[in-house]
Structure 1
């Protein structure tokens, strides 16, 4: 079970960085009032953490279920 915990933490950190960088490419300045950079940063961090959580859980569940399928055969 420790392997899954380390895999989960590593994937979460890796995916968080990738998603945060990709969310920065979106022009969010147009959606907010001028000089609201702190609000934009909070939104980007929250979105990246939420999306990272979902993607990481999907990948870890996919690994678990594929291992269970191999046990059946």
Structure 2
């Protein structure tokens, strides 16, 4: 197996895990998101208002997978 094939397989595996986590994954509270992103509650609120962070769900919690995806992009 070539390096490119291995990387492609790992990418597909990560996408599959992300999909599973999205459907059955844990949800984070505001406090947990603040700890994970190392920001205060006020900073989180301000950045949410500016559209800089992912929005919580209707239950006021964030999917861990969405936070992880955001972290990977930034």
Normalising by structure 2, report the TM-score: 0.37
Which protein is richer in strand relative to its size? 2
Structure possessing the higher radius of gyration over alpha carbons: 1
